[in-house]
Structure 1
Amino acid sequence: MPLLEIAHDRVLADDWVLVADDAPLPEAPAILSPARLRQEAEAHAGRNAPLGLLLDPATQPEEIADLLPRLSLVQVALPKSKDGRAFTQARALREHFGFTGEIRAAGHLLPDHARMLRRCGVTTVALPEGADLEAWRRFGAVVDIAYQPAQDEGLPLGLRRRRLKAA
């Protein structure tokens, strides 16, 4: 599955392994469930490889806030293209909890999600096999102004935000 870094439109190698709750923990960077991270907290204390968390769409970011300092990655899931909970989760992780690590989106993703994922703080997208990479790149640049503040600093400000900044 290709991994697209949406801020720089480049394909990255994916070294992370999604680990089931009953599977042995590999030496590679591992993405675990919140339950397993909590259950084996002491065992992970001396671990050299990074840890990630698989955030279920129904889980509120507040519920995993205590785990964030130990994480390098949080993977949010989009079970359907019309399910916006991952966008809300990503933004909350960045704005309310100060998470600075990688936020990865995975699941039923469409190229027209690219810009909004980036604005919400998502850094990488796990593209489905056979995804049109060029379509993702095109849709990432379709809209170049925004009216609401977001996590993608440095992009052009909307008219209202330009006026507020000038005042």
Structure 2
Amino acid sequence: MPIIKDQRILENTWTFVADDAPLPGGDITVSAQRWTEDKAALSQHAGKLGVRLAPTDNIAALGEDLSLIKLIELNFPAFNDGRAFSQARLLRSRYGYQGEIRAVGNYMADQVFYLHRVGVDAFEVNHPKELELALSAFKDFTVRYQASTL
């Protein structure tokens, strides 16, 4: 499934691994809980590592591990749950995270512009027909009143 990264359509090379699933090869993301519980085993993984954050996950718990994490997926369980906006902003501004931050789940294309402003630089799109719509959202506004993290 393609993703939008750096305002371009690219192939997704990452796989999310459920908490009870064995680790496959390649670049993987795991839940924050699995990261905390299996950090030693995960550090032996040959591919790149990422963490998927739920809106209720505590970013501070990852603080010292952020240099090991190449991708943070911010999960939107519902489009009206905006806590991932705050998580992205905190990752970029407070924690200085330089890796990829990707929106996944049930966000709307109308939110892409604002997510990008707070530090999200990649978007997993659930429906291929929404790729172009989400991509065009980066140009929704030409005047900005607030500073961006990117």
Same fold per superposition (TM over 0.5): yes
CA displacement 1:72-116 (0-9 Å, x = unmatched): 000001122221111110110011111111101011121111111
Shift, 1:45, TM fit: 2.9
Is contact 1:68-1:99 (8 Å) kept? yes
The one of 37, 60, 63 equivalent to 2:61 is 63
The one of 51, 54, 70 equivalent to 1:53 is 51
- C-alpha separation in 2, matches of 1:97 and 1:82: 25
- C-alpha separation in 1, matches of 2:111 and 2:16: 23
| Partner residue in 1 for 2:92 | 94
| Partner residue in 1 for 2:115 | 117
| Partner residue in 1 for 2:12 | 14
Is contact 1:78-1:86 (8 Å) kept? yes
Is contact 1:91-1:120 (8 Å) kept? yes
**Does residue 8 of structure 2 align to residue 4 of structure 1?**
no
| Partner residue in 1 for 2:70 | 72
The aligned amino acid for 1:52 is G
Q: Percent identity?
A: 33
CA displacement 1:1-34 (0-9 Å, x = unmatched): 33111x33x2111111111111111111111112
Task: Give the paired residue count.
Answer: 150
TM-score by length of 2: 0.91
- Tell me, which stretches of 5 or more residues in structure 2 are unaligned? none
| Partner residue in 2 for 1:129 | 127
Q: CA RMSD in A?
A: 1.5
Structure number with the bigger relative contact order (C-alpha 8 A, sep ≥ 6) is 2
The aligned amino acid for 1:14 is N
Is contact 2:54-2:76 (8 Å) kept? no
- Tell me, which stretches of 5 or more residues in structure 1 are unaligned? 153-167
